[in-house]
Chain A
Amino acid sequence: MKKFDRERVLLAVAGPVIALVVAMTLTSIVLVASGKNPVEPYTLMFEQATFSDVQVLIINQASMYYIAALAVAIGFRMNLFNIGVDGQYQLAAMMAAIVGAHVALPAALQIPLLILTAVFTGMFWSGIAGVLKVTRGVSEVVATIMLNAIATSVIGYLWLPNVFGVKVGNNNTTGEMHESGWMPGIDMGAAGEIYGFVVIAVLLGIGYWIVLNRTRFGFDLRSSGASETAAAASGVDPKRMVLTAMLLSGGLAGMAGLPILLGDTHTYSLNFPTGIGFLGIGIALLGRNNPTGIAFAALLWAWLDKASPELDFHDYDKEIAVIMQGLIVLSVVVSYEAVREWGLRRQQRRVGAELAAGHVLGAPSDNSIEKEVAGR
């Protein structure tokens, strides 16, 4: 009998909107304080968003942020903090690049093979932290941070010329992948090409929603996150849940680097973007672990990234965007808490008012009683 709940939507949207407004205001204050025009940077950045080539850049970048944030979010839903997304996607992308350079199958097999390689590498890496947590009680935060550092060293080792490395000029690469592993993109003419993996990113978002909200596993996962003891009492094995959630998170993380690997660089080199896993944490937070919310958050982040370089050419510092990203994360945390408390108080007041009016608590009001009965 859950109908479209205005209250819930209001509360869900209020958090990020307040955070954005606060962050923009604070950024403007910073601009005024440094003697600059507080509005022009925004107009410049909005103008950038109307150019189709910048839009392509934004969407491509957002696809990577999106997958990384989904990986973080799946952990969040279960109260697991997977900080290791960064190491997981880098290692996974590298393994996929290596397989892509040494195995040549037809495209219909090659691309799935590369995706599976990345997924399993990510799973393996996060699985280590998962196993440590369920068998030895090691905090997954500590374990995944350590694994990030180890991943960098493993990557350094794999780059050695006598292992899988191929030196191109002063750059380390893993050699160019066979062409059958290049994922065709959506050609936008002069604006560039949207990575084909963007479609998969969207599918992953839908899959994430279905698994979490429409399967028994998703219910177990969410309930373990809400209260581990309660979930255990109702027959959910907490250890199994921790391990599966970690593996799922790592598997998703493994795909975060694939959009650019399969769509553009076709090799894992020193230029491969890093830090996406950490950005994913902020984006998952901003998107409230909700696939649609995360999509908006990822696009917002990518827009700030891609529109800000233009500021350099107009006597503003592009670091304004970085300041803003930092402020958004900060105010998101504060505003979500504030909105939650505000919502609670509102609810209490309403309950109080209904009690004072002589209604029985929980009884449906007015004429919806019949419907309720029919619903049973």
Chain B
Amino acid sequence: MRRVSRLALAGAATTSLALALTACGGTSTSASSEADGNQGLAIAYDVGGKGDQSFNDAAYAGLEQAEKEFGYETTDVEPTEGETDADKTQRLVSLAKQGYNPVVGVGYAYATAVKEAAEKYPDTTFGIVDDSTIEAENVADLVFSEEQASYLAGVAAAKSTKTNTVGFVGGVDIPLIHKFEAGFKQGVADTNPKVKVLSQYLTQTAEEGGFSSPDKGKTAAESQIEKKADVVYQAAGLSGQGVIEAAAANKVWAIGVDSDQYKQEALAKYKNHILTSATKDVAKAVYNLAKSVEDGKPETGIVRGDLKAGQVGLADSNPEFKNNTELQEAITTAKEKIISGEIKVKTS
């Protein structure tokens, strides 16, 4: 008897607990919100979050600009580790519920979440950075032609190397970063086929810290420099700081990514070794979306930032880079060819 009763107890406790919990309460979205009507742009970050000196920070720069210009309330929210799509959806829905508009998910990981949240809040404009798979009236897909900027970085690297060896350090082995590598390799090969490209990815998954571990970036760059690489291009988020540090320590060139890293305070110590940066103007894209909503004509569909639109490109804040006429000529020619379509840059 006792055996059965204890067994039943264990089972009943677990099931009844599960059922009892769901039996009560309305949904959090139907609860009253404290909207005061002055909410504007909201962004939700991807893994890495604020302070990565590149991708996420660029989105934040766009947010700041919008806040200043339109004088409304903005907010930015960070993700938790190991979260599911349901958590991301909850976050976006929560922002939309509070009256924020537009709501931007930074990073392709938000794709499913944006799709679901957009269905629940058809009057709110949603944006998603780095994803073009979501098609909805109220969703703007903010994507970039990273491979084009990377191609130019490849041209710059091939023109600057003396050892005929350059390096590429990618943060995480994912399709998005493959675009950077593919463009870079093609740019190098088209400029000088004799130049060898060493290529390395820091980790297989973002959770292992490929985008957030400067130490990993440093080790990878050091081993490439040891193999005679004298220009190192990184697409590795926060880990890229380690790459730049290693390049500066060994007095070789580093090429930055996403933001103009020559100008960044955190990297000021190493800036003389930052040749240029392959920029991706996430800030502008985010701002433009906010502006379009403010103007009453929200962007929708795929909004591509490419060389033509000036949303990707090479930064020229380093005078040594800017005043190198031979280099600049090569880059200008390549740029024109890409814009005219004469050069098709591969994405993988």
Contacts and interface: CB of A to CB of B under 8 A. Distances in A.
Interface string B14-31: 110110011011111111
Interface string B158-182: 0000000000000001111000000
A279 B82 CA distance: 10
A257 to B, nearest CB: 11
Contact of A205 (B10, B28, B109, B112): B10
Nearest to A50: B25
A316 interface: no
Given A48-B28, A194-B22, A308-B80, A299 B17 contact: yes
Contacts of A53: 27-29, 90
Contacts, number: 147
Interface of A: 48, 50-61, 152-153, 155-156, 167-172, 188, 190-192, 194, 198, 202, 205-206, 209-210, 214, 260, 264-265, 270-271, 273-276, 279, 291-292, 295-296, 299, 305-306, 308-310, 312-313, 318, 322
A265 B98 CA distance: 27
Nearest to A190: B27
24 contacts: A50-B24, A51-B25, A51-B31, A52-B27, A53-B29, A59-B22, A153-B204, A168-B133, A171-B175, A191-B22, A206-B14, A209-B7, A209-B10, A265-B112, A270-B108, A270-B205, A271-B84, A275-B82, A275-B207, A292-B10, A292-B13, A299-B17, A309-B90, A322-B80
* Interface core residue of A58, A153, A265, A313 (most chain B CB under 10 Å): A313
B14 A295 contact: yes
Interface in B281-309: none
A329 B248 CA distance: 42
B11 interface: yes
Interface of B: 3, 7, 10-11, 13-15, 17-18, 21-22, 24-31, 75, 77-78, 80-87, 90-91, 94, 98, 108-109, 111-112, 130-133, 173-176, 204-208
Contact of B91 (A274, A279, A309): A309
Contact of A61 (B11, B15, B84, B132): B84
A291 B14 contact: yes
Contact of B14 (A155, A202, A313): A202
Contacts of A275: 81-82, 207
B205 A55 contact: no
Contacts of B90: 53-54, 57, 306, 309
Q: Max chain A CB contacts within 10 Å: which of B7, B24, B28, B31?
A: B28
B3 A152 contact: no
Given A51-B26, A191-B22, A309-B94, A169 B31 contact: no
A57 B89 CA distance: 11
Nearest to A63: B18
A73 to B, nearest CB: 14
B22 A306 contact: no
A52 B173 contact: no
Nearest to A59: B18
Interface majority SS on A: helix, strand, loop or mixed?
Answer: helix
Contact of A52 (B14, B26, B86, B112): B26
Nearest to A90: B205
A191 to B, nearest CB: 5
Nearest to B22: A55
B81 to A, nearest CB: 6
B22 A188 contact: yes
Contacts of B132: 169
A289 B30 CA distance: 38
Given A51-B28, A57-B90, A171-B108, A202 B18 contact: yes
Contacts of B112: 265, 271
Given A51-B25, A53-B28, A60-B86, A169 B111 contact: yes
B80 A167 contact: no
Contact of A152 (B10, B30, B176, B205): B205
A270 B17 contact: no
Nearest to A194: B22
Contact of B208 (A50, A152, A209): A152
A54 B84 CA distance: 13
Contact of B27 (A51, A271, A291): A51
A108 to B, nearest CB: 24
A48 B3 CA distance: 38
Given A202-B15, A206-B7, A275-B207, A306 B30 contact: no
Contact of A206 (B10, B30, B86, B206): B10
A214 B6 CA distance: 12
A329 to B, nearest CB: 15
B164 to A, nearest CB: 30
Nearest to A154: B204
Nearest to A60: B86
Given A51-B31, A152-B208, A313-B98, A318 B82 contact: no
A305 B18 CA distance: 17
Contacts of B78: 312, 318
A284 to B, nearest CB: 15
B80 A309 contact: yes
Contacts of B206: 270
Contacts of A190: 27, 29-30
A270 B174 contact: yes
A312 B22 contact: no
Contact of A318 (B75, B80, B85, B108): B80
